[in-house]
A and B are shown apart, each in its own frame.
Chain A
Amino acid sequence: MSVVDTLTTPVERRTDIPLSERGPAPVEIVVGFGFWLFLLSDIVIFSALFATYAVLAGRTAGGPDGLHLFNRTHVLIETACLLFSSFTCGLLALAIERRSAAATYLWAAVTFVLGLAFVGLELSEFLRMSAEGAGPTRSAFLSAFFTLVGTHGLHVTLGLCWLAVMMAQVATLGFRPVVVRRLLCFTLFWHALDIVWIGIFTIVYLGAGYV
């Protein structure tokens, strides 16, 4: 139990004390719940972009449509990268719980490389589409596509920066409670990005022929 916890958690959390008189919840609970609320609001932002895409997906303005632009194999590799990075992020959470620095660095590195591969694949897809004359200015469909998928890619990129900063903090500050809480928030953020990607590969890529 950390220093902060012994300050905020009542020494006697007796179950016969009414809930209203037990004092504030431990810091981990409060931070975790607050970050959970942030993630849900972030997913609400994505829902607005999904709604925009769903409305505009058929408006190709005579330009190329999804069926001719998207490469299924490419998307499957991207999906695999993100799913396995989500799994190694779970292993990272377990390594943090054991306070094992070596395992933390290992799984953080694997998560980082898989995330970087995902961003690289997505960027190469964007560049190829722009080179083919299917950039975001071509049609309403492509504007909506680049906004939705690009926002997700931006989230993954920021997550990679966050992970790098956290590894620097583990190296300099060690597993002090505030660092552990930030690491926990990072793992939640990374899992949330994978949930958003499920919606993207289903609606945008696999649903391309059904709009």
Chain B
Amino acid sequence: MSDPRQGHGETHDHAPGGAQTGRGGIRAYLAGLGFAIVLTLASFWVADAQSVWRPAVPVLLAALAIGQMGVHVVFFFHISSGPDDTNNFLALAFGIFVVGLIIFGSMLIMTNLNANMTPMEHMVQTRH
């Protein structure tokens, strides 16, 4: 844990969100809003832009969305990787792990099943 000589005083842990522990303030929310607006407009522009190589668009959209989610976590939830945020950060890391497992695992399994399924026409033929 944190170095005792630093003298953390009363708080050695931090609740997510809020500003009661001296974090954030109006500047954090304004910064978050600014970043979020830029990233949102970039997402909507990329989806329609003719000057972007088309196969790159899904990757760009994913990167912009993940970036904006990060902006929300940092500037609106005030979650950091600091020593007094260990509990919140570990819970977040586990949440991201489970979400990734569910989404990519489902897509992988369903694509695989779909590719290996016997075509319906073939099944009708073999039945008689």
Q: Which residues of A contact B (CB under 8 A)?
A: 9, 13, 15-16, 19, 22, 25-26, 28-29, 31-33, 35-37, 40-41, 43-44, 47-48, 50-52, 54-55, 72, 76, 79-80, 83-84, 86-87, 90-91, 93-94, 97, 184, 187-188, 191, 194-195, 198-199, 201-203, 206-207, 210
Instruction: Give bound CA distance, A80 to B39, whole Å.
Output: 12
Given A86-B76, A94-B25, A202-B61, 8 new contacts (CB under 8 A): A29-B14, A43-B95, A83-B40, A94-B29, A195-B73, A198-B65, A202-B62, A210-B58
Q: Which residues of B contact A (CB under 8 A)?
A: 1, 4-10, 12-20, 24-26, 28-29, 32-33, 36-37, 40, 43-44, 46-48, 57-58, 61-62, 64-65, 68-69, 72-73, 76-77, 87-88, 91-92, 94-95, 98-99, 102-103, 105-107, 110
Q: How far is the CB of B81 from chain A (nearest CB, A)?
A: 15
Q: Is the CB of A29 within 8 A of B13?
A: yes
Q: Which residue of the partner chain, among A33, A93, A188, contacts B87 with CB atoms under 8 Å?
A: A33
Q: Is the CB of B13 within 8 A of A25?
A: yes
Q: Inside 8 A of B47's CB, which chain A residues have their CB? A: 72, 206-207
How many A-B residue contacts, CB cutoff 8 Å? Answer: 148
Q: Inside 8 A of A210's CB, which chain B residues have their CB? A: 57-58
Q: Is the CB of A55 within 8 A of B110?
A: yes
Q: Inside 8 A of A13's CB, which chain B residues have their CB? A: 9-10, 12
Q: Inside 8 A of B6's CB, which chain A residues have their CB? A: 15
